[in-house]
Amino acid sequence: MNLKKWNSNVVVLIVSGLVVGCSACGDEEAGSDTIRAEVVSSYAELAEVNYRESVDAAKALNHKLKDLIQRPSNDSLNEAKQAWLAAREPYLQTEVFRFYEGPIDNEVDGPEGLLNAWPMDEHFLDYTVDEPEAGLINDLRFEITAENIVSENENGGEKNIATGFHAIEFLLWGQDNVDGEGAGERPYTDYVVGEGGTANNQDRRAKYLELIGDLLVLHLEQVHAQWKEDGKYRTEFVSAAPDSSIEKILTGMIVLAGFETGGERLQAALDSGDKEDEHSCFSDNTHRDMIQDVQGISNVYHGTYTTQLGESWIGKGLQEVVLAVDPDLAAKLELQIKESLQSANALQIPFENEIKPGNEAGNARVQDLISRLRITEKTLERLFEKMGFSVPAPE
């Protein structure tokens, strides 16, 4: 499948001018339009449910960030860290709704690069052990406003990350300077102004953290609004010809499984063996990133979602369309997604040790997940082609 990288963090399929549909297929082979329309409608509802929980978790995180800023202590810092980890769980499952010019990553106003851009150059944002005066926070010429922060994101380089989950992660954990011995250990005193404070510009650091917490909520609310029942994008998505929307559903699953998770996040890190290339390197949460990305694919295939409180949402998954098109292919996907999820759960903590050169067992676990995701990608591509969808070469 042909891919086009149109910015540093978003990869999309070239979908303009697609020849879609399956008008030449009989109902027995392709499944009924009714089933496909129901699956499309259910997918849109799933997106709304998933993004809603992500917004709620981001708001809870933002509340804990403000607590840390107002009352810095070991307890408030640890509570903010736990809230960050909790907020990652639903957000990562939403990544399956990417890669087809939807609300999260369209070229006009998609905020994905402001939410989850990585990897990041720590020096761009704040001090490091080798550069104690580095970063926007310590540059007194930089006025800390929401508008300025957004304008600085990826300014001058794709690793110049100014906002989003990983900027917050760095401001909570700090650098992970000890190989294989746990996450970063930024002291809460980095937010204490006056006596007892560490590093410089604690007040600017606090203001910066507060603003990017607000921006995280704002950008997630922007996407969630489009998937609400009366949202503009959802209305268009469910009213379009079912096959055109199913094509988008498949596109998100294919690119997330193979190119993004299997390639950008896993293969690149395994090839380099460098913890700087892992997805959540400051918090050592990369293993959860991998698990929840695969879980997102499973959610769409099965039409199910489980909230962090254990509540279940059940709809109609893509599986129902695949069963009508090719039962054998449906069975293969069922097994492959299950095995990919098992492989992701088999990763050991911390992920930086799994990719370390010489760790044969850890490297093998990572490679096993890559291989299973690539197999899943290829099976989804066969379904894509079997349904009559085609991707023209880029111009």
Could you give the domains of the chain?
3-386 (1.20.1420.20)
The rounded Cα 362 to chain-centroid distance in angstroms is 23
Lowest mean pLDDT among 22-31, 88-97, 136-145, 281-290: 22-31
Return the pLDDT at 40: 98
DSSP H helices in the chain: 27-30, 33-70, 74-93, 112-115, 122-125, 146-152, 165-173, 202-227, 232-239, 242-255, 268-272, 286-302, 319-325, 327-345, 351-354, 360-386
Output phi, psi for 167, to 5 deg: -70, -40
* Mean pLDDT, residues 342-368 taken together: 97
- Residue type present at position 130: D
Q: How far apart are CA 142 and CA 63, in angstroms?
A: 26
- The DSSP annotation for 81-129 comes to HHHHHHHHHHHHHGGGG-SSS-TTT-TTT--HHHHS--S--HHHHS--S
Range 361-381 average pLDDT = 97
pLDDT at 275 (0 to 100):
83
What pLDDT sits at residue 33? 86
Q: Which of 297, 344, 292, 335 is nearest to 317 (CA)?
A: 297
Whether pLDDT at 324 is above 50:
yes
pLDDT band at 47 (very low <50, low <70, confident <90, very high): very high
Measured in degrees and rounded to the nearest 5, phi and psi for residue 257 equal -65, -50
Residue 26 has pLDDT above 50, yes or no: no
336 with 377: CB under 8 angstroms? no
Residue type, 49: V
C-alpha dist (Å) from residue 342 to 211, 290, 345, 365 = 38, 11, 5, 11
- What is the reported pLDDT for 390? 72
The per-residue pLDDT for 268 is 94
Can you give the pLDDT at residue 31? 43
Q: What is the pLDDT of residue 373?
A: 98
Average pLDDT in the chain: 91
The pLDDT value recorded for residue 177 is: 79
**pLDDT at 277 (0 to 100):** 85
pLDDT attached to residue 23:
40
pLDDT in tens, 187-212: 999 999 999 999 999 999 999 999 99
Q: Is 3 helix (H, G, I), strand (E, B) or coil?
A: strand
What DSSP letter does each residue of 166-212 carry, written as one string?
HHHHHHHH----STTS-S----GGGG--STT--SS-HHHHHHHHHHH
Quote the crossing angle between the two packed helices 286-302 and 360-386, to the nearest 10°: 30
Query: What is the 8-class DSSP label of residue 138?
Result: G
pLDDT at 335: 98
Q: What percent of the chain has pLDDT over 70?
A: 90
Q: What is the mean pLDDT of residues 61-88?
A: 98
Query: Which pLDDT belongs to residue 192?
Result: 98
Between 115 and 395, where is the model more confident? 115
> How confident is the model over 277-296, as pLDDT tens digits?
888 999 999 999 999 999 99
Residue 22's pLDDT is what? 42
208 is written with which tokens? 């910066």
Provide the phi-psi class of 241: left if phi over 0, else alpha when psi is between -120 and 50, else beta.
beta
Please tell me the distance from the alpha carbon of residue 319 to that of residue 355, in angstroms, as a whole number: 34
More reliable by pLDDT, 180 or 370 = 370
Q: How many CA atoms lie within 13 A of 43 on its CB side?
A: 34
Taking the C-alpha atoms of residue 287 and residue 261, their distance in angstroms, rounded to an integer, is: 12
Query: Residue 73: its pLDDT value, please?
Result: 98
Say what the pLDDT of residue 391 is: 57
